[in-house]
Chain A
């Protein structure tokens, strides 16, 4: 395989920035695509050598239109496409179309995606490969009646899941038979909007589950390695909020066992590139294959921080036909945590809060990393994901990492839009999180605690500050209306009215 000289990144936001940074380090030219809403986005204006508009704001008319992306790649002379995550990253038809156009797709083969990207097929394949799976349907349902009959049979609670993608879209937990109709409709609509495919399947919901995933990497020479786990149990509506590595509930034996199974799963489809095997771990530490994500994950920085590996760098080198630099598992070094900063208001039912960012101050310091695609003055639109940035920290131990993240979050200032920063602070300050044994029900169960504002000391300071602020305004106002004659004897009317609205 020949050297890649120019990469088109078929994505936006922080992940486009992330991929382009490594490309530039390697001397690879970068090409951006953008929707009409993203002309001023950071990846377009700062890191791309070339940029092409691919349509109007809705992703269905721009970032999801394969022909437009490929046309932009041809026009720009790109020899490879990096899909990022979301959008077209797990679409095997796109992989085939890219390869047909003579362009390298940075990721696994279309065949591997066919098998692993489609969750029902992946489950079947895993059962054959001897990997443990959660009880559930292996096929999407043709009708609501069939789906309901199946859910009634395996017993509630059940999970409705989109066969075409992940990220919490098109996914609903159903506690009771009476709720399945509305959940079914919502899941189908969301799946259609996010992936253009509304096929839904059903799984039994495992009680007290932990979401632990293994990062794997394969090369074109048949080698597969795992790069340890990420604990992703802090999630809300299946949207991850905080991730860490290593997982506080894994010991070296369980890590080795899960890693081995993950490698086996990847090898069974001759997997090439970066991928993630997601597992559910129950309270007895049994683990079940959940799904495989055939792309780079949002939360990949915690793996990079604890292994020292630049995953995008590896993706590019493997796409150029290089061998994996090593094939033996490495032990995680220290501890890393990532917090996702969303434009949303946890106080008001997590309502999205798009709008113009009027001010932004990003924390710095030792081992603090911020991945973002926004800046002060930029308008966060309602067309895309509400994630505005990812704040990741590394420290020698978990306790130190939590303290570092806490201080960094306190330093973070975003004005103009509402963010979940106070919510994140409450999460990492919660005793259950600090204890390390939190399952995927943690955020929902503690919702009231986590959205409640505390810290009485800060409230007292705020009351004092607000009173003085109001007083200063009052005084400024009073000064304005002091009659000039009382101030310094006679002053001409022109001077008296200077700078004042008449």
Chain B
């Protein structure tokens, strides 16, 4: 593998952030020469022996930064927490960029399933099967931690499936209903 690789990093905290090109060259001993937007940095990255893993000490041109880095799986978002602020970064190398260019775009076509964003209890259904709903319209109320949360339809369309009943306890990511 080449010692220098090119990465395209995008801040996902804000919509439509400009991707940034970052070249990383391995120097050995946890040191890297990095170029971002024509600016050169010398980095030293040390993974700290915390349990569980995730704490990283980064020296950027000698300036000390402490952070936590989590990535569930390769290719997914990298979550970097600095000063209590989680920043979600998408990082793609050139191989992954090529793969993405041929993969279909994520779309809202067809049936969209609404899943529970947290474990809780279904309090009320706000629409019935067959009913036309608008994107962003409240369709179901789920109670968690003593607060009622109104969940909204993912798209304009017809409510075609309801997988739950009022009063039912649901796990995180449980299917609630589908809109087509």
User: Is the beta-carbon distance between B120 and A382 smaller than 8 angstroms?
Assistant: yes
Decide yes or no whether B157 CB sits under 8 A from chain A: no
Number of residue pairs across A and B with beta carbons under 8 Å?
159
**Alpha-carbon gap, A477 to B51, bound state (A):** 23
**Alpha-carbon gap, A475 to B93, bound state (A):** 12
Q: List 17 A-B contacts (CB under 8 A).
A: A186-B148, A190-B147, A352-B144, A384-B146, A385-B145, A385-B146, A453-B87, A459-B87, A461-B80, A462-B11, A462-B80, A462-B87, A463-B89, A467-B91, A469-B91, A470-B7, A473-B71
User: Is the beta-carbon distance between A413 and B81 smaller than 8 angstroms?
Assistant: yes
**Alpha-carbon gap, A352 to B89, bound state (A):** 23
CB-CB nearest 8 A-B residue pairs = A466-B89, A462-B87, A462-B80, A478-B1, A467-B22, A470-B91, A386-B145, A471-B24
Q: Distance (Å) between the CB of A343 and the closest chain B CB?
A: 7
**Interface with B: A92-100, A254-262, A353-361, which one?**
A353-361
Decide yes or no whether B127 CB sits under 8 A from chain A: no
**Alpha-carbon gap, A467 to B35, bound state (A):** 11
Q: Determine which residue in A348, A352, A411 has the highest number of CB atoms from chain B within 10 A of its CB, and name it.
A: A352
**Which residues 426-470 in A have Cβ within 8 Å of B in the complex?**
452-453, 455, 458-470
**Alpha-carbon gap, A351 to B145, bound state (A):** 10
**Alpha-carbon gap, A368 to B120, bound state (A):** 34
Interface of chain A: mostly helix, strand, loop or mixed: helix
Decide yes or no whether A370 CB sits under 8 A from chain B: no
Q: Determine which residue in A343, A354, A458 has the highest number of CB atoms from chain B within 10 A of its CB, and name it.
A: A458
User: Is the beta-carbon distance between A352 and B118 smaller than 8 angstroms?
Assistant: yes
Residue total for A at the interface (Cβ-Cβ under 8 A) = 55
Q: Give A387's nearest chain B residue, CB to CB.
A: B145
**Alpha-carbon gap, A103 to B52, bound state (A):** 46
Decide yes or no whether A409 CB sits under 8 A from chain B: yes
User: Is the beta-carbon distance between A474 and B1 smaller than 8 angstroms?
Assistant: yes
**Which residues 77-108 in B have Cβ within 8 Å of A in the complex?**
78, 80-87, 89, 91, 93
User: Is the beta-carbon distance between B45 and A466 smaller than 8 angstroms?
Assistant: no
Q: Which of A189, A344, A354, A455 contacts B83 (CB 8 A)?
A: A455
Given A453-B87, A472-B45, A359-B50 contact (CB < 8 Å): yes
**Alpha-carbon gap, A1 to B45, bound state (A):** 64
Residues of A within 8 A of B16 (CB): none
User: Is the beta-carbon distance between B26 and A471 smaller than 8 angstroms?
Assistant: yes
Q: Which of B78, B84, B145, B148 contacts A382 (CB 8 A)?
A: B145
Decide yes or no whether A143 CB sits under 8 A from chain B: no
Q: Distance (Å) between the CB of A454 and the closest chain B CB?
A: 8
User: Is the beta-carbon distance between A464 and B41 smaller than 8 angstroms?
Assistant: yes
Q: Which of B36, B54, B84, B87 contacts A412 (CB 8 A)?
A: B84
User: Is the beta-carbon distance between B82 and A352 smaller than 8 angstroms?
Assistant: no
Q: Determine which residue in A382, A452, A468, A473 has the highest number of CB atoms from chain B within 10 A of its CB, and name it.
A: A468
Q: Mark A312-354, 1 if CB is under 8 A from B, else 0.
A: 0000000000000000000000000000000110001101111
